[in-house]
Every structure is written in structure tokens, then in C-alpha cells.
Amino acid sequence: MTDRAWFDAAKGDIPQWAASMPKDADGTTIDWDWVRSLDLAHGVGTIPESTPQSIHDALKADYATRECLESIIAQCNSAFMTDFDRLIGSYRLPRALAYANRRLNDNINTMLHLGEQQHLWAVSRERRGRTTVAVLRPYSGSRPSNDDQGMLNLSGETGDASAGNTVAENSDVKFPTTVALDDIQDRTAAILDARAERRKAQRFQKRAGDAAMARANLSGATSPGGAASSGNATGHHPKPDWRDAYLPGRDVDAVMGIDIETTGIDPARDYIIDVGFEFMNMASPRPAGEPETYAYEQGYYAAGDAYGQSRLAFGVPPENAALGNALIAKLTGIDVRGRSSEAGYRLFDEWPQAQAGLLARLTQQPYVAHNATFEHSWFMLNVAGYAESYRAGRITIIDTLPMSRQWDPGAVPTNEHPYGDNTLDAYAKRQGALDSAHNERHLGLEDSHIMLVAMKHHLAALKAQRKGPWGPAGRAGVGGKSCGRKR
């Protein structure tokens, strides 16, 4: 299929999803007819007239649509991975919903900015629980009629020559006297917190059930915990956790390291703008015939054993570029204002060939990332065929973050870092892959390089000490996280 015909194919999968996933992540029954009615390819947002009440109403409608979409998307991974009867054949519907949701999120941010321009509100980005949300407050240049209710007076009847009244006084449009702010606040944090509390209660209930079963059997065989700790060279023994499934085995060799840079942390709202990857062998010699040098942005990086380096740049929609992203520009040096699709940059989620090329590389050998669940979550909602390949056991993921946490003697708990400092920057410096005078670059290829160099140094030291993969709790084979098969 070419162009955007895959959106129609995605909607054709709705009966499969409806049969397996009647409710969303918040326990609400999904209206699949509503999902079928959405124009996923061309936008699900509301374009308002340029009046305060129209902007308010459009923002309210878009928030409601985003909440519905994201609750569905959040449940799709669980439904797909636990569909053991394979009723759901493809993951393209969640990818299509995420595609539409990203554009919807751009529309929301555009309206937030428009409201600021018209002095309807002031926007601050605040950390609330598990996420950062946009908080709307009355514009400081006007007089809120009721701070508790978040109402903004636009009537201009106070006699004050405030900036808040300028738009109303100088425009031919008759503005309403007030615009409510309390019903257009971002509810994302409250939704995520409630979702987390439900998961916590479910885990508690399961543990209680397991403990009761163990007592009934007069055995601890079914009780949780009890797995052997890997331990590290300092005698500090971190508790096993779910990340340990991503640890490498003692036979790991050829791997591809990958790192992505994005416009935010949510794969259903944000865009991939930079991908860097390279290959390295952890045990066998570097392949003959590969170029021996590569010019990284950091001149003090040496290619060493790395080969097959690649750097890919992607763009964002014009609406996203117009708003800019100061945080990402400061972190990575990538200014999205120059990455608009109108400036010739291709969007990753609109580039099937780029997705296919990346998937081919991800399935050839294990891929390595630092905090690999981040990359995995983005690939699930951006790369055609990735979710299907992962579920079929054709993808193996290795993570250097649990290597740092479990096996690095420098990753000791402190008050600032209760589980040790396991950032890529700290891990690379402890493993001699990054000079202490320099910091992690936050570009895909450069970060992939220091990660693989650190991993290779670390594995060599662990092998010499008979620790890590070569210790009592180490794994044979390649290791890593994969589905449907043992390694």
C-alpha cells in the first residue's frame, strides 16, 4: 500500500480489536463506532474561530478526544501481547491512533498558544506526579472575576487600561464576558495517577493471593520473590526486578546499539527527530573490510571496534515546528523550528521505507539501548511491523541500564540516587567510554557509541572476574528480552 491507505487497513482491524479489547486502560467501554468515524489520516482536532469562547470550546473538545484516544492506545500493548489466540493480526490500528493523536496534541498546543496571544490565559508547564502538564491561569494583565473558579473577565468594563482588555476593546468581535478555565485544565496527571493506583491495587491483590496459595500448599514455591541476585563487585546486592530480563548472556557477540532523540517523552504525542545506530562485536573480531575510521561529532570519540554507523534526521509537522521546543534545543542542539516538513524534512511516522529499513536492522541481531523500554515503546507506535516481529520472537532487546544497576560496582545507592547513578553519562564514565571532562551528547549516534564501548569494557571486566553473565546467576546464550523462545 502507498501513501496513507494503511489508515483504511487499520480501521479494517477494528473488529479484531473490539473482540479482544472491549475496555480501555481506564476501564471504560470503548465506542469502536466512534473510533471508526475518526479521520485518522487528516486530523481529529478542532479548528476554532478566533474568538475566546470558540477557542475555549475547541480546546475542551480536543482534550476530551485526546483522553479517549490515549486511554485506548494505553491498553493496546497489553491486549496485543496477551492475545495468545492471535485474534489480532496487526498493530497498525494503535500506530494509526498514535499518528492522529500526535497531530491532535499539536493542535492542542497551538490553541494554548493562541489563548496566550489573545490574553485568555497564561500557560505554565508544571510537573505533576508522573508527567508534565499545561496549567492554565488567568492572564495577569486582566481582572479574574473569580480566582477560585478560574474565570477571566474580558468585558473591559472595569475602566482599567489593562493589556488583558486590549483584544476585546480593539476588535470588532463581541467577546463573551468570561471564559472558564477550570474545565479546560489538562487532566493527564490525574488520569495517570489513578491508573497507577489501580495497577498497584491489582499487584497487591495478586501478591496476597499468591501468599494465600503458598500457605495452603505449605510451601513457598508459589510465593513471589526468591530469585537469586546477580550481585556486583562491591558486595552490594540489588534486588532482582523486571529489568533483569534485558541483561545479556555470556554468549552475546554481534549487537546493534541504538539511541533516539525525540520532541518529548510520550510516543503517542511526540515525534522521533534523530536516530543513531552502529554495530559492535562483544567477543569476536571486528568484521574485515569495514572502514576503520568514522568521524563522530565529538572529535575525541574514536570508532574503535564500531562499524556500520548511521545517523538519520527526521522532521516534524509545520504546526509543531512553529511552536518550537526550547527544552529539546537546549538538550540536543536540534531546533525543531528548522525541522518542518515544509523545509524538506521527512517525518518518521510518514516514511514507510525508513521504518522498513530500521526494522530490518533491528531483527538481524540483538539491539542494545540504555533504558531500552523507552526505545521499545517508540518503535511499537512508529515502526510498521515492529510490534508483530517482537511478539513473534524475532526481536531481542538488551539494556545497559540493568547492567549498570546490577553489575557495576560504582552504581551504589546514595540519597540522591537510591538505586545508584545509572544514567548513560555516569555508566559510560565509570566504564571508561567517556572522559570525565565531557558529558553525554544527547545525539543518537554519539550516545549509541559510548554505550557500546561501555558495554564491551564492562563485559570484558566481568568475564575476567567471573561475574555478571559468568557468575552463578548468569545466563547462557545471547540473553536479552525476547518473546516466544529461550536463548
Who's near 189: CB < 8 A, 6+ residues apart?
128, 129, 130, 131, 133
Q: Output b/e per residue, 14-39; b: 16+ Cβ within 10 A.
A: eebbeebbeebbbeeebebeebeebe
Checking 238-242 for CB contacts under 8 A at 24+ apart, the result is 238/405, 238/406, 238/419, 238/420, 241/402
> Residue 330: its pLDDT value, please?
92
Concatenated DSSP letters of 469-486: GGSTT--SSSBSB-SSS-
Q: Which three-class secondary structure state does DSSP give residue 99?
A: helix
> Residue 147: its pLDDT value, please?
38
> Residue 291: its pLDDT value, please?
82
Assign residue 412 a region (left: φ > 0; alpha: ψ between -120 and 50; beta: otherwise). beta
C-alpha 187/C-alpha 204 separation (Å) is: 26
Who's near 113: CB < 8 A, 6+ residues apart?
123, 323
> Residue 327: its pLDDT value, please?
92
Task: Report the predicted TM-score, pTM, of the whole model to 2 decimal places.
Answer: 0.87
Q: Which of 405, 428, 468, 403 is nearest to 300 (CA)?
A: 428
> Residue 374: its pLDDT value, please?
97
> Residue 235: its pLDDT value, please?
54
Strand-pairing partners, residue 132, are 127
> Residue 387: its pLDDT value, please?
98
Who's near 392: CB < 8 A, 6+ residues apart?
483, 484
Cα-flanking dihedrals φ and ψ of residue 22, to 5°? -75, -25
> Where are the alpha helices (H) located in 176-278, listed in sequence order?
188-217
Q: Which three-class secondary structure state does DSSP give residue 248?
A: strand
C-alpha 307/C-alpha 280 separation (Å) is: 6
pLDDT < 70 positions in the chain: 1-3, 141-178, 218-237, 485-487
Strand-pairing partners, residue 152, are 144, 179
> Residue 209: its pLDDT value, please?
82
Q: Which of 14, 20, 130 is nearest to 75 (CA)?
A: 20
The H or E element containing residue 257 is: strand 254-262
C-alpha 454/C-alpha 44 separation (Å) is: 44
